[in-house]
Amino acid sequence: MKTIEQKPKYNLNEDEEKKLIVREYRALMRLLKDKLKPGDKDLIRAAFEMAAEAHSSMRRKSGEPYILHPIAVAKICVEEIGLGVRSTICALLHDTVEDTDVTLQDIEKEFGEEISRIVDGLTKISNVIDTTASQQADNFKKILLTLTDDPRVILIKLADRLNNMRTLDSMKREKQLKISSETMYIFAPLAHRMGLYAIKTEFEDLAMKYLEPDIYKDIARRLADSKRERTRYINEFIKPIREKLEKNNFNFEIYGRPKNIHSIWNKMKKKQVAFEEVYDLFAIRIILDSLPEKEKEECWKVYSLITDEYTPSIERLRDWVSNPKANGYEALHTTVMGPRGKWVEVQIRTRRMNEIAEKGLAAHWKYKEGTAAENRFDKWFQQIRETLNNDDPDSVSFLQDFKTSFLTEEIYVYTPKGDIKMLPAGSSTLDFAFAIHSAIGAKTIGAKVNHKLVPLSHKLSSGDQIEIITSNKQTPSEDWLKFVITPKAKNKVKDALKEEKKKVADEGKYTLMRKLEGMGVTMYQGNIEAIAQYYKLNSNLDLFYQIAIKNIDLKELKEFKVFGDRLEAPSPVKAAEQKSEIITAPAHHPVPAKDAELIIFGESSDRIMYHLAHCCKPIPGDDVFGFITTGKGLTIHRTNCPNAAKLMANYGHRIVKTKWAKNKEISFLTGIKILGIDDVGMVSRITNLISGELKINIAALTIEATEGVFEGNIKVFVHDKEELDELVERVLKLDGVETVERYDTEDLPK
């Protein structure tokens, strides 16, 4: 695991800077040594000089010369992703067209059409940060279009983002939150899907360092403290396995590696356990030197040797050797009971599999040569192309759909004939039906999963065999959108509903035409638009549809003024019924500018309309940000709110810096969950401590005991986070109490 340290403040003179730049450039050339062909050195030198000249007057926020950034991106491309000379040239030039006077024509003239095209792709997606949500989604579409054309664009973009994350210390706090959230929301899943596991885990850890600094530091400290004991245990676990592998004449490498901080934190949250109780703080990795034709056989032989020594957990076997992931990942994972009753995860790979796991797509192409893995990538790209061809006006929902469909884990399911289909985890039987064929999906009335009848909303699991039941009388309904997750299924359902809506709308169109004729005016476009605007509707279709289903009473048309053949709408009375799209705040205190800092509560607080988010229940002392909400002013969220990453990644322009002012006059409702051993007098001990000793008001309390274990849910009014932290600490010290947790989400008991 990489430790992430604070960089010293940049302070070099001009001569030292020049030496540093030359040193970094030479380090890059050393990395490329084995990949250079005649003439390559001159091309890279020319790219470096063009970039150095173009960026000569620019500096990074840290004070460093800007050229160090493209060199660092190029080094990541070569060393950590395994890209070659042409990608190095593109990485060196990736910011020139966006930030300097260099043009694409200059690059094409000097380096050719291919490099110019990749730099163009990188330029189009360089503005993802600090744009509106829809612009960002449109940019993201451009990333994906280029990905299907030349994946090097996305790989260089990931290298660029990794260098930005590694140097984020010099940025302002709100920029750190914004970029980290965006990294977690889009770039970490994208790196994972491209097979770049090392980069994906570093993205997660670096983002967590800024989004949850206290928890990050605490886990890092605990990992450091337990390192010696962990090393001793790993050696004890490995010893008998090493002997068996040597006895069976395997060429191999075996070692233990710590899990990344973010995945440990996820385990702690998911399983609701303390750091000490997370059993898989590390994984044992075995890498075999195998011939291509013997890889599968030897991986299973090693699995057999390990399970002869240690008892495996059957549910925890993952066979990605027989069925590789869509991104090409291959390995056998098993979890076994090691010495002293500890569960240990073991990963078995060959040297080729390991290179693909570490370097993803770039390594995959080195080995592909018409394999099934190549097929999987091609299918994935084809699915992305299909999704991008759909002109859904809602770009933000497109981004969410893309994340759900292409950046999550996939499951493998089977048709009745045994053909395999790959779907995103969480897919329903209806998603499967549309994956078979759009016409089958539209006519689906039911399904059998493993020969049992299930509803259309049934969530599929890997290994399921599905038979779809259809009827010619069936048509898609609005409900279907609630349980399909794949873009193909969603788009086809929306298209079918739109067609149905058009049929109904025709009736409304005829009704409106008769009404207008009765008023002596014709049904020309200007009149229809005037009526649609009056009723606050976005299109003619919506207007005709609302008339057809009797949601609009055309009696109000008598309020319109008639000028010859033209209608003029009165003041839109319906406007009051619509949700205002303007942020309401007192006129003398406008919504703060983006770089202003909003102070909430206390005498110095800004008098502005805001409320506390229900999803995370912030209280004074929490690390928070303001989010400009249409119609509600500002909503205050905690930075570790479950919705924070999505808000900051999609709507960065609506984020406002926010901090608390001390105010002991106002109390805030929050809640804690207590687990412990059921014992006589436990309730009175808890209530005496909270109400009696700490003088904290209890709003509600429920305690349930089953089979010797109790669970308590308590709502309390506190003034700030310090008071809540003290409460948690004191309750935890009570005899019989095992865990005390603050409610982070809307799980706060009603």
d(CA 57, CA 66): 8
d(CA 4, CA 201): 13
Q: Between vectors from CA 277 to CA 276 and to CA 280, what angle results, nearest 5°? A: 100
In the beta sheet, which residues pair with residue 627? 635, 655
Alpha-carbon distance values, 463 to 275, 421, 449, 450, 452 (Å):
34, 10, 10, 9, 14
Alpha-carbon distance values, 450 to 144, 317, 413 (Å):
36, 21, 10
The backbone torsions φ and ψ at residue 100, rounded to the nearest 5 degrees and listed phi first, read: -130, -175
- Residue 506 designated active-site: no
List CB contacts of 383: < 8 A, sequence separation 6 or more: 405, 406, 488
The residue whose two tokens read 């790989």 is 155
CB 154 within 8 A of CB 162: no
DSSP-derived 3-state class of residue 637: strand
d(CA 578, CA 584): 14
Q: Output the six-digit token pair for 242.
A: 């090493």
DSSP-derived 3-state class of residue 452: strand
List of E strands, 471-622:
561-563, 566-568, 597-600, 610-612
Q: Catalytic: which of 17, 40, 79, 99?
A: 99
Q: Output the six-digit token pair for 742.
A: 């603050």
φ/ψ region of 340 (left if φ > 0, alpha if ψ in -120 to 50, else beta) reads: left
The residue whose two tokens read 């901090």 is 659
User: Is 670 exposed, middle or buried (CB count within 10 Å of its CB: 0-12, 13-18, 19+)?
Assistant: buried
List CB contacts of 59: < 8 A, sequence separation 6 or more: 65, 66
Q: Output the six-digit token pair for 165.
A: 């994350």
Q: Catalytic: which of 53, 98, 106, 507?
A: 98
d(CA 581, CA 584): 9
- Residue 98 designated active-site: yes
For the annotated catalytic residues, the residue numbers are 98-99
